[in-house]
Structure 1
Amino acid sequence: MSQWMTLLQKEILEMWRNFKWIWVPITFILLGVKEPLSSYYLPQILDAVGGLPEGAVIKLPTPTAAEVLITGLGQYTTLGVLIIVLTTMGIISGERKSGVAAMILVKPVSFQSFVSAKWAGSVLLMWFSFFIGYLSTWYYTGLLFDWIPFIQFLQSFFFYALWLTVILTVTIFFSSSFVNSGMAGFLSLVVVIVLSLVSSTLSNWLEWSPAQLTNYANEVLLDNGIPEDTLPASLIAAVFINVLLSLSVFIFRKKELAQ
């Protein structure tokens, strides 16, 4: 355990040196405040832009607080996913390519500790960034529209964060499989897009898909309670994460020992 904690501390320190603990949370905060502010000031923005016939009146329906939060979460499903992939795709492949991984593994460091410590460090960064970003969405939505109960905020945060953890783990799997970081990132996005499209298209048959967690988080915000399929989907997501991590360690060990 002391070895694993040392590797985790190294990973966290490395992310500090790369300023990830600064720019990733700031980016998520900007994504978080964008939707409530743009939704609230949209009529004024359209009026300032102009181009409408003289005397025209802009009347837009005021969105509910839940709708604003759901739209805000959509930002993390698109741009947030891209940020997660870009910051994670080279976490193992980059060190393999530079030879850093080989130097660390020369010491009595297990492959499992090496991969899992990198995964844990990335998860900490992602959960922290997503929490403060989504918290800013919730806060400004409350100020400008209406307050969503904090317990609903936490529940929707957990389900969304679990899905983002699946995406992060997929990226680490491909990062351990390929030396080329670009290939790892590309394949990660392809898998996530395909899984999301298939799950949404066949939602009646894939109710337990981890990709459905985003929809279940939205249901929580709409005050419809926690859907009954949320627990099975969460458990399958946890199993999926553990299987991918085990495969990441296996493939990484195989490729390193083959060199």
Structure 2
Amino acid sequence: MRGMTAFLKKEFCEMIRTYKILILGSVFFLLGVIGPLTAKYMPEIMEQFLPQGMTLALEAPKALDSWMQFFKNVPQMGLIIVVIVFSGMMASEWSKGTLVLVLTKGLARRSVIMAKFLTATLLWSGAYWLCFGISYGYTRFFWDERTPRLGAAAAFVWLFGVMLIAVTLLGGVLFRGSYTVLLFTGFLVVMMFIINILPSAQKYNPIMLVSSSMELLEGIKRIEDFMAPTLITGGLLIASLIGSAAIFDKKQL
């Protein structure tokens, strides 16, 4: 347990030293601010670019427009940044040879996997919920409206991000290069989009957690509709962690 705690401290120190905390914090802070501001002022900005004398009939912005920006920006930009930032969490250990030192001192290999996963998950969670909190604050400031099922929609996106971290960690155990890890994780996501073409597979596809958020907020889908993809996402997360630990146990350093 002491070895695990020491390795966790080492991971957090490395996150600070390599500016990963600063990068994720800055990116998600900006995403949290940009969404509500874009929804609020985009109609006015568009009017400025119209030819003189021409008018454009636009609906007054509302809270749902702000959350549409949030649930578009975070999956399309935020999660990509997360995968890029964490794609080297094992590659750097392979290249520096630091794992040999900690493992020869008695640290269990599974503890390395769990420490890497916990550190990345805590960093993702902090950045994500910071972004959500900023968006929520600005949205309530501009529009005093309550959005039903908002917490559930946000939690589904968070869970998908945790699953991506576990998959990225698995890629880091399988391959020694960060670019290969990116290809591995990207391939999985692309396969989800391809599978989503099949109507019968859509209700089970984990990609639904990040692609159907607005349908949930608008009442087109119910929370119950997300239960199957949530369970499958959780299964992929656990399978990735178990696979990472099992493969790393047999991996030659």
- Output the TM-score relative to the length of structure 1: 0.88
Q: Which amino acid aligns with 1:207?
A: K
Partner of 1:195: 192
Correspondent of 1:69 among 64, 67, 70 = 67
Distance 2:137 2:198 in 1: 34
Q: Is the 8 A contact 1:40 1:144 kept in 2?
A: yes
- CA deviation after TM superposition for structure 1 residue 109, in Å: 1.0
Where has structure 1 moved over 6 Å in runs of 4 or more? none
**What percent of counterpart residues are identical?**
25
- CA deviation after TM superposition for structure 1 residue 22, in Å: 2.3
Structure 2: which 5+ residue stretches go unaligned? none
- CA deviation after TM superposition for structure 1 residue 66, in Å: 2.2
Q: Which amino acid aligns with 2:173?
A: S
Q: Which amino acid aligns with 2:51?
A: P
Q: Which amino acid aligns with 1:181?
A: S
Distance 2:210 2:106 in 1: 41
Count of aligned residue pairs for this structure pair: 253
**Residues 88-237 of structure 1 correspond to what in structure 2 (within 5 A)?**
88-149=86-147, 152-199=149-196, 201-215=197-211, 217-223=213-219, 226-237=222-233
- CA deviation after TM superposition for structure 1 residue 132, in Å: 0.8
SS in 2 for 1:229: helix
Q: Which moved more, 1:223-232 or 1:239-248?
A: 223-232
Partner of 2:4: 4
**Residues 229-248 of structure 1 correspond to what in structure 2 (within 5 A)?**
229-248=225-244
SS in 2 for 1:53: coil
Distance 1:146 1:194 in 2: 40
Structure 1: which 5+ residue stretches go unaligned? none
- CA deviation after TM superposition for structure 1 residue 101, in Å: 1.5
Distance 1:218 1:13 in 2: 38
Instruction: Report the aligned-residue RMSD.
Output: 2.1
Q: Is the 8 A contact 1:174 1:187 kept in 2?
A: yes
Q: Which moved more, 1:239-248 or 1:39-48?
A: 39-48
